[in-house]
């Protein structure tokens, strides 16, 4: 039986922390589906198409290194429903700290009640990327700061273009 994992997030933008979890998750499954949550009530910095392009660029070398297939798609349903739609047997959840763990444990319990055939697997972020958060990356970029320690060069360029300051 093929092992299919589902890793969901907003990926706005994809960070080195996301890439860390993706690389490690890809080694656990035959196929990893990256689900980009698209919700009408949220106004992301990057459109879904841009996030897909960023993730596909980031994931290509990760998939090759892991010997796995990585597929990127969007969803606008409950995450557990999107995972079921992808035929996933595992939902991958990245953890940065104890606060994430407490929240993710509740979420895993709720998801398990809705889809008992899908297991939740927690992957702790590696120490070197544990501190990275997308909202902080966006804030640093919006104020003209250097985000290259937190995102790939391609993503840093996209952020710089997004926050080009005009001279007054």
pLDDT tens column, 63-92: 999 999 999 999 999 999 999 999 999 999
Tokens matching residue 17: 């922390």
Range of the domain at 19: 4-130
Q: Is residue 56 part of a domain?
A: yes
Structural contact between residues 83 and 6, judged by C-beta atoms closer than 8 angstroms: yes
Convert the pLDDT of each residue in 41-57 to its tens digit.
888 999 999 999 999 99
Contact 117, 83 (CB under 8 A): no
Count of domains observed in the chain: 1
Across the range 149-161, mean pLDDT stands at: 96
Is position 163 within any domain? no
Residue 33 CB: number of other CB atoms within 10 A? 23
162 within domain boundaries: no
Say yes or no to pLDDT of 167 above 60. Answer: no
Whether residue 41 is contained in a domain is answered as: yes
State the DSSP code for 132: -
Predicted confidence band of residue 164 (pLDDT cuts 50, 70, 90): confident
Task: For residues 52 and 151, give the distance between their C-alpha atoms in angstroms, rounded to a whole number.
Answer: 15
Any domain includes 167: no
pLDDT at 93: 97
| Run of H or E including 31 | strand 31-37
pTM of the model: 0.93
For 107-131, what is each residue's pLDDT tens digit? 999 999 999 899 999 999 999 999 9
Has residue 25 been placed in a domain? yes
pLDDT reading at 168 higher than 70: no
Residue from 91, 94, 61, 62 nearest 79 by CA: 91
CATH code of the domain in which 24 resides: 3.40.50.620
Angle of the 48-66 helix axis to the 16-26 helix axis, nearest 10: 40
pLDDT at 10 over 90: yes
Q: Is residue 135 one of the residues assigned to a domain?
A: no
């Amino acid at each position: 039986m093929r092992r299919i994992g589902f890793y969901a997030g907003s990926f706005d933008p994809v960070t080195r922390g996301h890439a860390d979890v993706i690389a490690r998750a890809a080694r656990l499954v035959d196929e990893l589906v990256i689900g980009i949550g698209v919700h009408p009530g949220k106004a992301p910095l990057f459109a879904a198409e841009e996030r897909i392009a960023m993730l596909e660029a980031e994931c290509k070398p990760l998939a090759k290194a892991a010997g796995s297939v990585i597929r990127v798609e969007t969803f606008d349903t409950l995450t557990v429903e999107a995972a079921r739609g992808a035929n996933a047997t595992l939902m991958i959840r990245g953890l940065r700290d104890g606060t994430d763990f407490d929240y993710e444990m509740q979420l895993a319990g709720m998801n398990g009640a809705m889809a008992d055939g899908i297991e939740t697997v927690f992957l702790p972020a590696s120490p070197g990327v544990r501190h990275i958060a997308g909202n902080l990356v966006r804030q640093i970029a919006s104020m003209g700061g250097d985000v290259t320690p937190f995102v790939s060069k391609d993503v840093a360029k996209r952020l710089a273009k997004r926050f080009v300051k005009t001279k007054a």
